[in-house]
Amino acid sequence: MDIVLFENVSKTYRMGEVDVAALDHVSLSISQGAFTALVGPSGSGKTTALNLIGCLDRPSQGEVTVAGRAIGPMGRRESAEFRGKTLGFVFQDFNLLPVLTVYENVEYPLLMIRDVPKGEHKPAVDRVLAAVGMADQAGKYPAQLSGGQKQRVAIGRALVGKPALVLADEPTANLDGATAHKVVELMKQMRDEFGTTFVFSTHDPRIMDQAEVTFHLEDGRLIDGPAVGKEAHHA
């Protein structure tokens, strides 16, 4: 089953007088459980595509369906609720809350987004922290962690609410090669353990090899991928 479906999707930004096509008639599908990479040089449209999947932006044209729901007509509050329930996010700069400990950062989605009963927090957080290998650092603050450790915590935070899909925009861009490799391995492990679909973007060729499915973007166009849309076939 497809968890993400792009049907002839375009996204244009207006820059002064000219329209910039960040995505240009892209059609693709990502099946559930796939460990997927969006690759392409800087400016190719990876972030734009992830923002659309992540319900953070609307397509200018075409239809984006995520977990069976068309994202176009959703309102602010509705899309926030949808993100909180269905999606997890991992950021390039980790974006942990500096005032919260590792444990509290991972707990945040349960506490402030999903309003999960307090009693269920500890088992869920402990399990995720153990899975990402950060159980022994639970009391530390983000400032006391290395980049790789921060990203592990961030992956734990993305997973704690058991989302169907985790989106990661260049999750390894701020990590050294070895750490980057380990973080992507961890994501794959998490996919195996939790059955979560992972979609991440990268322009690092070594990292993209770790993906099972790869979509290549260039100048907003999908130039290579397993399920290149009908338009592309006709072209």
Partner 1 sequence: MLKVLRLSMKNLLRYKRRTLLTGMLIAVGVVAVIVFVGLSGSFKRAIVGQITDAVLSHLQVHRKGYMASVDNLPLDRMLPPKAFETLSDILTRTDGVEAFSPRIKLGAMLSNYAQTTNVRLNGVDPAKEQAVVPLLASRIKEASDENTLLKKGEVLLPEVLAKGMAVKTGDTIVLVANNKDGSVNGMTFKVTGLVESLMGPGGRDGYLHIEDAAVLLRMETPEISEVAVRAKNFDQLTAVAERLRAALELITNKQNQPMFELHTWDQLTPFYNVVRMIDVMTLGIKVILIAVVLISVLNVMMMSVYERVREIGTLAAMGTRPGRIMALFVAEGFCLGLVSALSGAAIGLAVLWILNLTGVEVAFGGANQVFALAPSVAPGEVVSACLIVLGVSILASLQPAAKAARLEPVEALRHV
Ligand X SMILES: Nc1ncnc2c1ncn2[C@@H]1O[C@H](COP(=O)(O)OP(=O)(O)O)[C@@H](O)[C@H]1O
Which residues is 2 bridged to in the sheet? 31
Q: Are 39 and 199 in contact (CB under 8 A)?
A: no
Least distance to ligand X, CB of residue 111, Å = 31
**Interface pattern 47-76 for ligand X (x via CB under 6 A):** xx----------------------------
Q: 95 contacts which partner out of partner 1, Mg ion, ligand X, none, CB within 5 to 8 A by kind? A: partner 1
User: What's the min distance (Å) between Cβ of 85 and Mg ion?
Assistant: 25
Q: How far apart are CA 222 and CA 29, in angstroms?
A: 12
Residue listed under structure tokens 């602010």 = 76
Run of H or E including 186: helix 177-194
Cα–Cα distance measured from residue 195 to residue 82, given in angstroms and rounded to the nearest whole number: 19
Per DSSP, the three-state class of 87 is strand
Given the complex with partner 1, which of 56 and 213 has the nearer CB atom? 56
Q: How far is the CB of 116 from partner 1 (least distance, A)?
A: 12
Closest distance to partner 1 from the beta carbon of 73 (Å): 17
Provide the 8-state DSSP code for 44. Answer: S
Write out the binding residues for ligand X, residues 11-50 only, by CB under 6 A: 13, 15, 20, 22, 40, 42-48
Is residue 54 a contact partner of residue 86, using CB atoms and an 8 Å limit?
A: no
> In the block, which residue shows the tokens 């530390």?
140
The closest of 110, 95, 99 to 170, measured between CA atoms, is: 95
Closer residue to partner 1 (CB): 11 or 191? 11
Q: Counting contacts by CB under 6 A, is residue 99 touching ligand X?
A: no
Secondary structure letter of residue 97 according to DSSP: -
Near partner 1 by CB under 8 A: residue from 57, 66, 132, 142: 57
Q: Does 32 bind partner 1 (CB under 8 A)?
A: no
**43 counts as binding partner 1 under rule CB under 8 A:** no
Q: Which residues pair with 14 in a beta bridge?
A: 19
Residues that bind ligand X (CB under 6 A): 13, 15, 20, 22, 40, 42-48
Residues that bind partner 1 (CB under 8 A): 51, 54, 56-57, 76-77, 80-85, 87-89, 91, 93, 95, 97-100, 108-109, 111-113, 157
